[in-house]
Amino acid sequence: MQHMPDKEFDQLFRDKFEDAEIAPSANLWANIEKQLEPKRKRSMPIYWMAAASVAVAITAMLVFQKSEKIQLRADNVTAAVVEPSTENVVASANDNNEVSKTVITDASTLAPVRTPSVKASKVAPENKLQNFQLALQLNTNEDRLPIKQQDVKPLDVLPVRELITENPTVIAYQPQQNTADNMISETDPITERKGIRNVGDIVNYVVDKVDKRDKKLVRFNTDDDDNSSIVGINIGFLKFNKKNK
């Protein structure tokens, strides 16, 4: 028993522990093996996720396509509001008919002008008066005052008939095509300016940042209040775009 310097003390410990062995518990290897297992299969879920996301995209597309019928009506309402197309109708009507001029001068706003266009597309030439009233009722839905002036006056004016008979082809086709084009080209910049109001807007915003292609990966129509519907999909082999239809 004598005093031991630090170096000696340390060396003794080192010697004792240098080849020390303590047998681990029997089940330890099984635990390690279990922990190693997941790494082997890690590549699988990526394929599964890819497959799943494609499936989701396709089903979403099918679902939204079915609900499109409802969407179409909503589009027509917005189409009627678009002004440029109705101006076209005014021009064509003015060139061909003297009577329509009188109608337009009577009511100086654009509202009455729309009556010939509506009539032209829907009305059969037999019951002019009834049809005319029908057209007027349509207009009153839009709460414009000038229509009420017309309620009284145009009833006396018979020659509205000519408008119907001469122009039907021009008026019937033009507005629909024009409005369809105008509507879509106008809604796009609007949705971008609107800011983010719903999930569709968020998706559009993110896709805009990420996907610089002309046809985006996914594009939602977010005009409606609640229901955003898919307007375009572009996953390489699978392309779907409402604008093209």
Partner 1 sequence: MKVTKTYTIDECLEGCKAGNRQMQEMLYKLTASKMLAVCMRYAKDRMEAEDVLQMGYVKIFRKVKDYRGDGSFEGWIRRIMVNTAIESYRKNLRMLNVVPIEDAYEQPSAGFDFSSLGMQDLMKVIQKLADGYRMVFNMYIIEGYSHKEIAETLGISEGASKSQLSRARAILQQEIIKMEGFGYATHAG
What are the residues binding partner 1 (CB under 8 A)?
Answer: 1-4, 6, 9-10, 12-14, 16-17, 19-25, 28-29, 31-33, 35-36, 39-40
CA–CA–CA angle 46, 47, 53 (5° rounding): 90
CB nearer to partner 1: pick between 29 and 173:
29
Nearer to partner 1, 35 or 105 (CB): 35
> Residue 111 and residue 154: Cα distance in Å, rounded?
14
CB atoms within 10 A of CB 123: 19
Closer residue to partner 1 in complex, CB, 6/126: 6
Q: What are the tokens at 197?
A: 């109001």
In the bound complex, what is the minimum distance in angstroms from residue 5's beta carbon to partner 1? 9
Using DSSP bridges, classify how beta strands 238-241 and 229-235 pair: parallel, antiparallel or unpaired.
antiparallel
CA pseudo-torsion sign 53, 202, 199, 241: negative
| Cβ atoms within 10 Å of 88's Cβ, excluding its own | 16
Least Å distance, CB 33 to partner 1, is 7
Of 11 and 177, the one with the shorter C-beta distance to partner 1 is: 11
From the CB of 39, what's the least distance to partner 1, in Å?
Answer: 7
Residue 133, Cα to own-chain centre: how many angstroms?
36
Please report how close the Cβ of residue 34 comes to partner 1 at its closest, in angstroms: 10
